């Protein structure tokens, strides 16, 4: 049983497309993170959410606490957005991670 | 700029060696974590610590130990490295005990290969 489920696992898009990655979780959380991991392994925290919506540049993250669901949107996608996107939730003094969505944006 | 720093990006060690992976954070965070990441399995918790000299087992602690002598440093120890411990290791820290997730930061990862 995985406390955090992400979809899709793999995603290929044409440059310029609007992209959505989904995350559902089953535990009570204090916060949800969207992480980006580029080839080579380094992980960057894109957003931390406990309610509502956040926007940073072309990235938008939303969370619905009642439905235990979050989405990460990328507008006007670009090849440099190609990475693995990981949903992580903080709950019960630890993190739970989704298995990641591998995004490839083709020029 | 806040930082979680892992001592090495890449390591190659021999089977049976004792391996130390170091993680240092400069944010005065109480919580620190060690994860390993494997294809198809995602990130799995090895150990975490919510205070100096405190440690808790995660999901896959076998073959590992940890040390937290100072608040800013959390070390992962492979007592006798084996090839199945070849993986990406990730350190993280977060702000408040019991409120995990607030102010969480991640290191750059250490890719360990055991030959």
Of B42, B48, B100, nearest to A99 by CB-CB distance is B42
Nearest Cα residue to A91 out of B110, B7, B112, B45: B45
Strands A10-14 and A101-106, how do they pair? parallel
| Chain B residues lying within 8 Å of A46, measured CB to CB | none
Are B30 and B97 spatial neighbours (Cβ–Cβ below 8 Å)?
A: yes
For A7-51, what is each residue's pLDDT tens digit? 999 999 999 999 999 999 998 877 888 988 877 666 777 888 888
Predicted confidence at residue B100, as pLDDT, reads 45
What mean pLDDT value characterizes chain B? 87
Nearest to residue B94, comparing CAs of B102, B85, B86? B102
Interval B8-17 mean pLDDT: 95
A5 forms beta bridges with A24
pLDDT band at B28 (very low <50, low <70, confident <90, very high): confident
Residue B99 clears pLDDT 50, i.e. is over it: no
Contacts of A47 in chain B (CB under 8 A): none
Residues A60-89: pLDDT tens digits?
999 999 999 999 999 999 999 999 999 988
Q: Which residues of B touch A10 (CB under 8 A)?
A: none
Q: Closest approach of chain A CAs to the CA of B54, in angstroms? A: 13
């Amino acid at each position: 049983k995985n406390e955090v489920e992400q979809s899709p696992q793999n995603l290929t898009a044409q440059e310029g497309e609007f992209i959505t990655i989904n995350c559902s979780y089953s535990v009570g959380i204090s916060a949800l993170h969207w992480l980006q991991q580029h080839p080579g392994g380094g992980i960057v925290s894109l957003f931390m959410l406990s309610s509502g919506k956040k926007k940073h540049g072309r990235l938008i993250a939303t969370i619905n606490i009642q439905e235990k669901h979050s989405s990460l949107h990328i507008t006007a996608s670009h090849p440099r957005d190609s990475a693995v996107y990981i949903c992580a939730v903080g709950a019960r003094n630890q993190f739970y991670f989704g298995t990641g969505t591998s995004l490839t944006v083709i020029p | 700029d806040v930082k979680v720093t892992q001592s090495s990006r890449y390591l190659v060690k021999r089977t049976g060696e004792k391996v130390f992976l170091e993680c240092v954070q400069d944010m005065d965070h109480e919580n620190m974590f060690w994860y390993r990441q494997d294809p198809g399995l995602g990130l799995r918790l090895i150990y975490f610590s919510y205070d100096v000299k405190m440690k808790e087992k995660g999901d896959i602690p076998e073959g590992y130990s940890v040390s937290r002598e100072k608040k800013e440093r959390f070390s992962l120890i492979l007592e006798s490295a084996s090839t199945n411990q070849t993986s990406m290791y990730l350190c993280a820290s977060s702000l408040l005990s019991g409120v995990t997730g607030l102010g969480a930061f991640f290191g750059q990862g250490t890719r360990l290969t055991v030959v």
